[in-house]
Chain A
Amino acid sequence: MEQERAVLEVKDLTVAYRIGERWLEAIRDINLSIFCGQIYGLVGESGSGKTTLAMSILNYLGQNGRILKGSIVFDGEEISQYPKEKMRSFWGSKIALVPQNPLSSLNPTLTVGEQVQEVLRLHLKMPEAAARKRVVELFEQVRLAEPQRVARSYPHQISGGMQQRVMIAMALAASPRLLLLDEPTTSLDVTTQASILDLIKELIQGQDMAVLYVTHNLGVVVELCHRVAVLYAGELVEDAPLEEIFRQPLHPYTFGLLKSVPKLGQNKKEQVLSSIPGQIPALAQRGSGCIFQSRCPIALDICAERPPLESIDAKRSSRCFRWQELLRGEIPLEKLFEAEGEALQASIPVQQKSEAAALDAQGIIVEFESHASLFESLARRSSRKVKAVKDVSIRIEAGDTLGLVGESGSGKTSLARAISGLNEPEAGSIRIYGLSAAPKLSKRNRDVLRRLQMVFQNPEEALNPFMTVGESLRRQLFVLQGIRGEEAQRLAEEMVKAVQLPLDVLNRRPNQLSGGEKQRIAIARAFITNPDVVIADEPVSSLDVSVQATILNLINRLQGNFNNGLLFISHNLAIVGYLADQIAVIYLGALMQLCRAVDLFKPPYHPYTEALLSAVPSVELGKKAQTIRLEGELPSPTERIEGCPFHSRCPRKIGEICERQAPPWRVDESTQKRIYCHYTLEELTELQSPILDVGL
């Protein structure tokens, strides 16, 4: 394979964007070769320039983007200077793209069949009838149920997963030589992502084609790719075959990236996450030295100069002056990255259980009216109601973390908002250490309000942009506890130190902070009045991977110090599994499984939990006993579902009983694992095998 000519050869590519008056380099000196039959993973966080690289390869930069130097050779042809009109003969036929957001990438006013047909008619010169027939075949290949019907549908009529299948069919329609996949599963739920990945793997393996897979998700790379290139702040820092990069990364950034991510089955009790300090330098702040220098634990004086991308052997290369030491294992990177973590570990106190629960929410029901305009409520007395949360009860002990995990549309955020009072629940009781909290926020007094605080998902919107950080924190103290003046200032300073930020952030406004810093302040605001319960709704999901670990460690440590109950919500099983003591799995507004975090990965599982675990991209997929994939689509929220909420997609459905009768809660007395299923725990254990070999 190495002998033949590469399908794509990128040499010393530098691309810049015009920002105001200046041209700023978004990617620098990129070298990359992709051969036929190869799936090349390009990994990078946001701001790494990975999309810029993909768009440069397509020669499709916007008006403010320009290739400054370097070459892009496609099948022996230098294309980097071709004008747009010349590129049109490459696009779609020789180079194809599968983009990130399928819905916005499809024309809303044309049927999806027509949009795929266009490619066939244009590049394969197929007549209309043949093209129509071929579209149906293609749709069958991408596993679209009812391909004929789908072909006649408009994009808004089909689900996100189906839209992405259409995009894949469109990209493959003219059998391109080079396929670019730009985060094709990022906007999808984990179960849908799993089946799309299966499909991509099946379709492209053994094809006469080179593939560049762009992603921020290391797990996906592991599932799919032969080679991995790691991009950091516009530079390629490491490039190696998959196994080697995971076995022994030869750049400190790669190492940090791998270690800062909780692995499925890892828990905070065993190991503190390594975290990379700082953040990716902005475009304007990229100096002439090693790009990773400011965050690197092993930087030397020499790193003020820019290291070259050095070949280690025929197969791999690294942009680190100290790769030889790393190769010989002379640098204990693990220890260096964990320096902060170790101190942390010591400060985590042994959590004590008390009798009254920090949070006890019973029978929560949340309903939304689907249309509530004046006219319609007049026209129809009883408006349609959507049950977002159906009779859910949870309990969190002091110092404990309950991880609530579910896909989008599962009702996890609705539940959190109902408990916090932001949305008034239809029914249910909420108690904090036995003290009843009114369902309506305006009915809660200052004491109850102080006891329950929240951290929100999007750090960009978490802080009032017109107040300084100090004002935000002091306001919290004043309103909830009547603390003002010097005392408030002192507490605010202490809290800022606790979230590991310099004191001068108190005088700054949010637009002067990075996303991770904003989220730290949001966390500080939630904890500053020492609440009994903190609800964190996807607090790290909009942050970059290398920043996530810091935030997770921070939440963990603060909770340890204050000993409050934490409701941690996430769609990410590994993160929930890492941070939580107890785990609740939610589907369509109903709890499916409740158990200790340590028991989550051991059978028996609820069939939905089993599917979720199986869907998580994993390094050792081969060792999974079976792959479970969910069929069909998430039922519409307005649909009334009898029996078990999961029956329409359950791979282990027993039969009619699941459709008719609500399942019982099956309880394991020794571990307190609770599963909502018609199968008994014994039967499930019999049917299932461990999905992970976690050796617990």
Chain B
Amino acid sequence: MGFEVDVRHTSGSVDGQPPSTPTSTYIQLAGWTKVVLFIRALLSKPASALGLIIFVVFLFLALFGPFLAPYGVNEQIAADAGQPPSAKHWFGTDNLGRDVFSRVVLGAREILSLAGFGTAIAVLFGTTIGLASGYIGGWFDEILMRIFDGLLAMPLLLLALLLLGTLGPSKSSVLLVIIIVYTPIVSRVVRSVVLSVRQRGFIEAARLRGENLPYLLFREILPSVLPALAVEAALRFSYAIFLVASLGFLGVGVQPPSPDWGLMVREARNNVNQMPWAMYYPAAAIAVIVIGVNLLADGIKRVLLESK
């Protein structure tokens, strides 16, 4: 009699180690436990905790800015022009007599909403295109991806500037630029996850019972994409803030008299030796929010993609 005991270790647990689930465990939990556990995991490391706190603070400013700011955005107090920081004007005033603290606080809504909406729409479009392109494949996929290659063969800021050069600088142009620049990036990320997921048994089982395309894309595939998507969205959001600020600084983005931080830095540059505060407070605001969101994105990545 012969014995044949043969198992292929195509998956399963590593010897002596607990089995790891192929997808993140967080997202599979239901309801509030998931949110609580997720936040707790973010708070467990100082870097991501700091990022989360910074983000929440700025979010608070964006939501309740008008109640917190002592002065109006473009309220000019000619008598106080060029004042250094004081009890009356915490961050001082600029050359037109505008209160820098109020403008920084009110600018939070400006920049977070622009970057936030732009990112949200780009993520929505990118996800849909990425899901469809990755799953359907073939010529549809090829042509889309080549067009995206063409778009992404340009460094991002270059593409943004090119578009702004044609659209003309304005808030809606900046929004459109964020969407156009980030949609291909998000859809590429989604597509690559879809490619790795689409051959899995549960997707094939769904195909074998004749599920329609929207069901396959959004109910079967999308949940597996979510962790990577969340990380990408957080990263995109931080770069979007970066982009809005840079465009504002270059003077080709949001136009005066908006309290855009990049724009404020640009306007205050000429008088930097007389009233440095008018430039450094908005610059610091940009630095803090961008680093904060970056740390947060890094933390989200650690929790969602690297946790076992």
Contacts and interface: CB of A to CB of B under 8 A. Distances in A.
Interface string A7-46: 0000000000101000000110000000000000000011
A464 interface: yes
A219 interface: yes
Given A47-B15, A50-B15, A422-B208, A619 B3 contact: yes
Contacts of A234: 16
Nearest to A48: B15
A541 interface: yes
Contacts of A444: 210
A542 B4 contact: no
Contacts of B200: 458, 461-462
Interface stretch (B18-26, B88-96, B245-253, B263-271): B18-26
Interface of B: 1-19, 21-23, 25, 27-28, 139, 142-143, 146, 200-202, 204-211, 220, 223-224
Contact of A619 (B2, B8, B202, B205): B2
Nearest to B197: A461
B192 to A, nearest CB: 16
Contacts of A522: 201, 205
B21 A541 contact: no
Nearest to B223: A466
Given A441-B207, A466-B223, 17 more contacts: A46-B7, A261-B3, A265-B1, A284-B18, A441-B210, A454-B208, A458-B201, A465-B223, A472-B202, A479-B210, A526-B205, A540-B7, A541-B7, A541-B10, A542-B12, A545-B5, A694-B1
A420 B21 contact: no
A213 to B, nearest CB: 14
20 contacts: A46-B12, A47-B13, A47-B16, A51-B15, A52-B15, A219-B4, A219-B6, A234-B16, A257-B5, A265-B1, A454-B205, A454-B208, A463-B201, A465-B28, A515-B19, A543-B7, A573-B4, A617-B2, A619-B1, A619-B2
Given A374-B139, A456-B201, A575-B4, A515 B28 contact: no
Contacts of A483: none
A69 interface: no
Contact of B15 (A46, A263, A422, A616): A46
A687 B205 CA distance: 46
B27 A542 contact: no
A620 B2 CA distance: 6
Pick the most buried of A460, A472, A574: most chain B CB atoms within 10 A of its CB: A460
Given A282-B18, A374-B142, A542-B7, A219 B205 contact: no
Contact of A17 (B7, B17, B143): B17
A259 B24 CA distance: 37
A466 B28 contact: yes
A572 B4 CA distance: 8
A479 B205 CA distance: 12
B16 A542 contact: no
Pick the most buried of B8, B11, B16: most chain A CB atoms within 10 A of its CB: B16
A446 interface: yes
Nearest to A461: B200
A186 B9 contact: yes
A311 B284 CA distance: 74
A262 B143 CA distance: 51
Contacts of A458: 10-11, 200-201
Interface of A: 17, 19, 26-27, 45-52, 183, 186, 190, 216-219, 222, 234, 257-258, 261-266, 282-284, 373-374, 420-422, 441, 444, 446, 449, 452-454, 456-466, 472, 475-476, 479-480, 509, 511, 515, 522, 525-526, 538, 540-545, 548, 571-575, 616-620, 692, 694
A457 B209 CA distance: 18
A393 to B, nearest CB: 22
A139 B179 CA distance: 59
Given A420-B208, A461-B200, A572 B6 contact: yes
A543 B7 CA distance: 7
Given A261-B4, A462-B201, A572-B6, A480 B210 contact: yes
Contacts of A262: 4
Contacts of B23: 465
A466 B203 CA distance: 12
A548 B12 CA distance: 14
Contact of B16 (A49, A456, A459, A479): A49
A270 to B, nearest CB: 12
Q: Give the dominant DSSP class at B's interface.
A: loop
Contacts of A217: 5-7
B2 A616 contact: yes
Contacts of A261: 3-5
Contact of B10 (A48, A51, A218, A542): A542
Contacts of B223: 464-466
A595 B11 CA distance: 32
Given A47-B13, A374-B146, A509-B28, A263 B2 contact: yes
B11 A542 contact: yes
A422 B16 contact: no
Contacts of B7: 45-46, 216-217, 540-545, 548
A406 to B, nearest CB: 14
A339 B12 CA distance: 29
Contacts of B14: 46, 51
Given A420-B208, A462-B205, A575-B4, A52 B16 contact: yes
Contact of A479 (B3, B12, B17, B211): B211
A465 B23 CA distance: 8
Contact of B8 (A186, A264, A373, A620): A186
A45 B8 CA distance: 11
Nearest to A577: B4
Contacts of B224: 465-466
Given A374-B142, A456-B201, A27 B8 contact: no
Given A422-B208, A511-B21, A263 B4 contact: yes
A617 B5 CA distance: 9
Nearest to B8: A541
A460 B12 contact: yes
A219 B3 contact: yes
Contacts of B205: 454, 456, 462, 522, 525-526
B153 to A, nearest CB: 15
Pick the most buried of A48, A222, A264, A465: most chain B CB atoms within 10 A of its CB: A465
Pick the most buried of B14, B15, B211, B220: most chain A CB atoms within 10 A of its CB: B15
A480 B205 CA distance: 12
A26 B4 contact: no
Given A27-B16, A265-B1, A465 B8 contact: no
Contacts of A525: 205
Contacts of B11: 458, 460-461, 515, 542
Contacts of B204: 422, 454, 456
Contacts of B209: 449, 453, 475-476, 479-480
Pick the most buried of B17, B142, B143, B146: most chain A CB atoms within 10 A of its CB: B17
Contacts of B16: 17, 26-27, 47, 49, 51-52, 234, 283
A484 to B, nearest CB: 14
A454 B2 CA distance: 30
A293 B121 CA distance: 57
A488 to B, nearest CB: 14
Given A422-B207, A456-B205, A525-B205, A263 B3 contact: yes
Pick the most buried of A186, A459, A511: most chain B CB atoms within 10 A of its CB: A511
Given A50-B15, A479-B210, A218 B8 contact: no
Contact of A542 (B9, B18, B202): B9
Contact of A374 (B22, B143, B207): B143
B18 A19 contact: yes
Contact of A441 (B9, B142, B208): B208
Nearest to B226: A466
A692 B223 CA distance: 51
A511 B28 contact: yes
B220 A464 contact: yes
